[in-house]
Chain A
Amino acid sequence: MSRISKKFENLRSESKTVLISYITAGDPSISDSLSIMNTLVDSGTDIIELGVPFSDPMADGPTIQKACERALKNNVSCSDIFNLVKNFRIKDDKTPVVLMGYLNPIERMGYDLFAKSASKAGVDAVLVVDLPHEEAEEVVAVFKSYNLESIFLVAPNTKVDRIKKISKYASGFLYYVSLKGVTGAASLDIEKTSKQLKIIKKEINLPLAVGFGIKDADTAKTLSKDADGIVIGSAIVNIIEREQNNKIKVNNDIINLMRPIRLKLDDELTAGNRS
């Protein structure tokens, strides 16, 4: 069983929600990313999503665009990111790592070399934001041959028969984009999202994670009733942006953001409210 499946299964057996945290790799530097990854795990993160910086991140909001710009100022490359994961794996063999990025840097490196290097470094899955399943056949096959899972997005306007098709290509988990908009957007309709999650859940056999616009423990808690995983991204990246010159403060603020989310998620569940 893959690290990701194991993680979802273990937490499900404890009636817990999987907490997924996103940072952009190399923001503001590769060594900072390593210490932030460790901090995230220490403060309750179950899966780490590492953004592969791209010059033109068209599905992301200003927060992650700026994170990409900071990382690219240091010329962070895919090889640097593989080294980062390799170093992370020295101490942590349990936390799944998902790479999330755009197709062009992967295509430039070559699907095979990218997948081989990622797998060797200890990456578990890849989410290519601008790769709908129609264009994904070749890439997914290459990823699979190196035991990398392929995470796919589902959006609020994705129709049911399309969700079924997507879930045929997807492995690991399915990522529901909770709003029409870019990452970090403000207006998340919790009620509507919960309703959508229920509908999707019925159509798929994979664990379902939800992200985009989740910034606090209360929202995370409410959505966790209908999702197997919660993704926190821009809220963490905002801290990195704000405190980029103060490593200690970055890590402390991330703990202060993530701990309450973890506690709230677990508290809710141990209180027996999970249906």
Chain B
Amino acid sequence: MKNSQNKNLNDFNLSSYGYPDKNGHYGIFGGTFVAETLIEPLTDLRKTYHLLKKDPEFLKELYDEYENYVGRPTPLYFAERLTKKINGANIFLKREDLCHTGAHKINNTIGQAILAKKMGKTRIIAETGAGQHGVASATVAARLGMECVVFMGEQDIYRQSQNVYRMKLLGAEVVPVTSGSKTLKDALNEALRDWVTNVDNTFYIIGTVAGPSPYPELVRDFQAIIGREVIDQMNDIDKKVDALVACVGGGSNAIGLFYPFIDGESKMYGVEAAGDGLETEKHSAPLNKGKVGVLHGNRTYLLEDENGQIIETHSISAGLDYPGVGPEHALLKDLGRVQYKSATDEEALEAFHEISKVEGIIPALETSHAVAYAIKLAKLMKKGENIVINLSGRGDKDLNTVAKIEGIEI
């Protein structure tokens, strides 16, 4: 890579953009909607982060971990057989599935864990849906010798039993959450409650670009390594990036890919989980079907009922099964800079099989949503144009889910 020595987290000319503002707002979105007890620790975190992100020592440590522990840069792979089969635009896969622990999540957890250590915290907590963020948090906690507690909805513990075992192997405690819908949003509530209570020694590693300020910003900055590498890698082979595609739950892998391209001309597509279909009530697509509201510390698009109560969402992939979305995506939607599409459970499954067979890469079910839309998109684009899909995670964790749907017992 030509620019691999470029180690400033803020080295992009985003002059026409410049979000969030100093109060953590993305236009009308984002902000800090938390109870008073969390204001002080969030203020602390914001101050520390803004100092550290310009600190060469912190950046050196971070990039050492990226290179030697996470396994960066990840390859940008030309999916030749898939491209040929579709007979449209060239498809490139940004192989985040090859990161240590099997997904992009660790880009963020390693960054936040180093931050935690610098702030003198000894205990890490995290929420998890699919278990990928939980595993990535447990992993970096082990790496840095910190205590780790992961909150996970009972429903998800059942769906992702393998990841639960992985977290335990890594020395983390997994706390089942039995309140509400017993999924990711309830795990987030529980983690916030723990943080309020143990705020003196505990650092809360949020797994996505949501939550109160400064989380959406710092998670984005840690994930933006994805897009920065893509810029370098496409430059290296003299290719123009015409379109970027990524799945969107909370939206961390998507913002990681998109952010460095925001000021450019590449088209961007975020793909939400349409579950049984956007016309049904069983989906997880707040950007397509939601209303503006406030949840988990930020204002964003939400799936809610007519009384403002958050409704249960559905997706085949636990990682997309969330009623909200990062505030920056809400802004990018309203600005028209990113188009937010969707893929149903069925389309995601089809793409899961397709790319497994044609490219020998088994993607996570979350990622399969991006692949499903990208296949449609490639057909509409010209030959010779280039699409980069964020292949955000590998599918090993989903084998049970897929096998079960197909009536196969493993």
Contact = CB atoms under 8 A, between A and B. Distances in A.
Interface of A: 54-59, 61-62, 65-66, 69, 72, 75, 77-78, 102-109, 129-132, 134-135, 152-159, 162, 166, 177, 180-182, 185
B293 A56 contact: no
Given A65-B179, A69-B180, A177 B310 contact: no
A131 B297 CA distance: 9
A10 to B, nearest CB: 28
B23 interface: yes
B35 A105 contact: no
A58 B308 contact: no
B185 interface: yes
Nearest to B307: A77
20 contacts: A54-B309, A55-B180, A55-B311, A56-B189, A56-B296, A58-B189, A61-B193, A62-B179, A104-B294, A104-B302, A105-B307, A108-B291, A108-B293, A130-B34, A135-B31, A155-B35, A155-B36, A157-B40, A177-B35, A180-B196
- Among A58, A154, A157, residue most surrounded by chain B Cβ atoms (within 10 Å): A58
Given A59-B196, A134-B23, A135-B32, A108 B189 contact: no
Nearest to B44: A157
A109 to B, nearest CB: 7
A129 B308 contact: no
Interface string B194-233: 0011011000000000000000000000000000000000
Contact of B297 (A66, A75, A130, A155): A130
Given A56-B189, A65-B179, A154 B308 contact: no
A139 B359 CA distance: 54
Contact of A105 (B31, B291, B309): B309
Contact of A58 (B23, B192, B197, B293): B192
- Among A134, A153, A159, residue most surrounded by chain B Cβ atoms (within 10 Å): A134
A135 B304 contact: no
B295 interface: yes
A177 B36 contact: yes
A181 B23 CA distance: 25
A130 B294 contact: yes
Contacts of A66: 179
B interface, size bucket: 35 or more
Contacts of A159: 40
Contacts of B199: 157, 180
Given A69-B180, A109-B307, A180-B197, 14 more contacts: A55-B311, A57-B189, A69-B179, A75-B307, A104-B304, A106-B308, A108-B304, A129-B35, A132-B33, A132-B34, A132-B39, A155-B35, A157-B40, A182-B196
A97 B241 CA distance: 59
B35 A153 contact: yes
Contacts of A72: 309
Interface string B158-197: 0000000000000000000001100001101100110011
Contacts of B189: 56-58, 65
B306 interface: yes
Contact of B295 (A104, A129, A134, A166): A104
Nearest to A53: B309
A129 B309 CA distance: 16
B37 interface: yes
Interface in B1-43: 23, 31-37, 39-41
A185 B199 CA distance: 15
B32 A108 contact: no
A75 B31 CA distance: 29
A231 to B, nearest CB: 15
B281 to A, nearest CB: 15
A104 B291 CA distance: 11
B211 to A, nearest CB: 11
